[in-house]
């Protein structure tokens, strides 16, 4: 009898301890926030309802903004897909990553915030567009390039670990298809910026771009719903950003706000005040140190960005006075640098002899073909000729409050001498501190600048 009683006591003791141990494990993982970073592919900062667009159907992004914080002055380090993503994941400027030009893989030696999370016990996964190269795959526990596996990736995670998800869309990247959503946008709903001609062709092109944003928005809604069903929503930080501006002339691959300004929405129930708005400057290079700090991890010296964690609690504070951006080879050769304060933008064009040609897929677009036609007929306005202009000015200066589309160059004007000098010095200092240098030689264009067709030297044999 004593043996039986002892056996019952021992089994009960072990059962209680196992349950307690499991509870402690769950409590431990619950104490660390989870993270989901959504990355749109070629979406402009103001092309959703949360940022004031009256027609684009983005109910889920609008709700995310209501549930968290909207950053009105969030910027990218460049307006080029893979270099921008490499910059985000390393917390370093593109020219410091070894992946500063389009399609260059991120070297294995580069430290990412994802591997730091993984080392600290996080389950790390990526789903969707993979634009970082093979060496970076090992820094994640799981990588799938298949589309529509966002929810399944979330469901298949180990439930005992905190998690980080890198959910990278291909929307709204070109090429476009019609009727991909239930209610396609109409041409009358399109808002045409002044640097593009307001024609039926351009409106059609923009309407299809809007449709892809709506398709993207639907995914955000499905993932958030899956989080709720898994009882993981209350302790998950959700970040939504884009990698560069819309794929249209004078947007993507430029350092104008139409290229480098990004939507940035961050929600964290109970930690970030719902419906809050931050007007302070932040940069995509700041995302890595911010996530590490939120996870309670140290930020090593490899990260060049500045954590904006304090802004999440106090959006009226300030973490930086300037943001910096760059443009390097992307289908076509170029080298440009920019610095922006809350009000002014200073741009330095190093290759003034070549035009600011948009990416090759945009050159092949309905919009650019129409612009070529109108140029031949001398029907483009001065504001619409920017993509064809040579020589370009070496220096550009804009007052973003008075001129949000950056159409009136103030460089050299006496009234702005002090502003120009201050921004030039800030850019010089940044280039010196980050060891940014002009390449010794230029990399040839891969495509024709007016047809978008691949040049013979680059065609596969």
- Map residue 317 onto helix, strand or coil: coil
Task: Tell me the two tokens of residue 382.
Answer: 């001065």
- The reported pLDDT for the residue numbered 458 is 85
**Each residue of 157-167: pLDDT tens digit?**
999 999 999 99
Q: Return the pLDDT at 131.
A: 92
Q: What is the pLDDT of residue 4?
A: 46
Average of pLDDT values for 49-70? 98
pLDDT tens by residue, 116-158 = 999 999 999 999 999 999 999 999 999 999 999 999 999 999 9
Residues paired with 243 in a beta bridge: none
Q: What is the mean pLDDT of residues 306-311?
A: 98
Is the pLDDT score of 25 beyond 60?
no
The residue among 307 and 30 whose pLDDT is bigger is 307
**Nearest CA-CA partner of 360 in 325, 333, 321, 393:** 333
Q: What is the mean pLDDT of residues 240-267?
A: 98
pLDDT of amino acid 31? 81
CB 229 within 8 A of CB 307: no
The Cα–Cα gap between 86 and 50 comes to 26
Return the pLDDT at 457: 85
Write the pLDDT tens digit of every residue in 190-249: 999 999 999 999 999 999 999 999 999 999 999 999 999 999 999 999 999 999 999 999
How many residues can be counted in the chain? 461
Residue 114 has pLDDT above 80, yes or no: yes
> Is it the case that residue 14 has pLDDT exceeding 60?
no
Alpha helix positions (H), 189-325: 200-229, 257-260, 287-294, 309-313
Helix 366-376 to helix 200-229 angle, to the nearest 10 degrees?
160
Radius of gyration of the chain (CA): 24
pLDDT at 7 over 90: no
Q: Calculate the CA dihedral of residues 313, 343, 255, 377 and round it to 10 degrees.
A: 140
Average pLDDT score over residue span 87-95: 98
Do residues 95 and 275 lie in contact, with contact meaning Cβ atoms separated by under 8 Å? Answer: no
How sure is the predictor about 30, in pLDDT bands with cuts at 50, 70 and 90?
low
Say if residue 330 is preceded by a cis peptide, omega within 30 of 0. no
Residue 9: strand, helix, or coil = helix
pLDDT band at 460 (very low <50, low <70, confident <90, very high): low
Compute the average pLDDT of residues 435-440: 96
pTM of the entire structure? 0.93
């Amino acid at each position: 009898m004593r043996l039986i009683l002892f056996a019952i006591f021992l089994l009960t003791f072990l059962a209680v301890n196992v349950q307690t141990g499991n509870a402690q494990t769950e409590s431990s993982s619950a104490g660390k926030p989870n993270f989901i970073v959504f990355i749109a592919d070629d979406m402009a900062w103001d092309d959703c309802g949360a940022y004031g667009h009256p027609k684009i159907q983005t109910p889920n992004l609008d709700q995310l903004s209501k549930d968290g914080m909207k950053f009105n002055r969030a910027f990218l380090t460049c307006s080029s897909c893979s270099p921008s993503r490499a910059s985000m994941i390393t917390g370093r400027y593109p020219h410091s990553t070894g992946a500063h030009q389009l399609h260059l893989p991120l070297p294995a030696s580069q430290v990412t915030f994802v591997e730091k999370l993984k080392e600290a016990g996080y389950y790390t996964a990526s789903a969707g567009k993979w634009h970082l190269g093979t060496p970076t795959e090992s820094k994640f526990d799981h990588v799938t390039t298949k589309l529509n596996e966002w929810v399944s990736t979330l469901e298949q995670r180990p439930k005992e670990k905190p998690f980080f998800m890198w959910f990278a869309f291909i929307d709204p990247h070109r090429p476009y298809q019609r009727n991909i959503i239930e209610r396609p946008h109409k041409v009358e709903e399109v808002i045409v910026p002044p640097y593009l001609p307001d024609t039926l062709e351009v409106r059609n092109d923009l309407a299809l771009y809007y449709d892809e944003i709506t398709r993207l928005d639907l995914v955000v809604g499905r993932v958030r719903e899956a989080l709720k069903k898994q009882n993981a929503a209350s302790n998950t930080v959700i970040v939504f950003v884009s990698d560069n501006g819309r794929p249209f002339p004078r947007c993507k691959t430029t350092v104008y706000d139409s290229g480098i300004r990004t939507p940035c929405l961050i929600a964290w129930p109970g930690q970030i005040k719902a419906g809050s708005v931050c007007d302070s400057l932040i940069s995509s290079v700041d995302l890595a140190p911010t996530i590490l700090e939120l996870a309670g991890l140290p930020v090593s010296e490899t990260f060049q960005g500045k954590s904006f964690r304090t802004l999440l609690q106090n959006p009226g504070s300030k973490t930086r006075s300037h943001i910096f951006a760059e443009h390097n080879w992307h289908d076509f050769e170029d080298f440009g640098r920019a610095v922006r304060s809350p009000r002014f933008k200073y741009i330095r064009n190093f290759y003034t002899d070549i035009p600011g040609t948009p990416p090759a897929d945009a050159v092949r677009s309905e919009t650019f073909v129409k612009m070529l036609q109108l140029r031949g007929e001398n029907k483009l306005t001065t504001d619409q000729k920017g993509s064809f202009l040579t020589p370009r000015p070496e220096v550009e200066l804009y007052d973003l409050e008075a001129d949000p589309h950056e159409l009136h160059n103030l460089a050299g004007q006496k009234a702005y001498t002090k502003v120009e000098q201050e921004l030039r010095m800030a850019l010089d200092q940044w280039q010196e501190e980050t060891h940014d240098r002009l390449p010794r030689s230029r990399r040839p264009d891969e495509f024709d600048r007016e047809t978008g067709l691949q040049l013979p030297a680059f065609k596969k044999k």
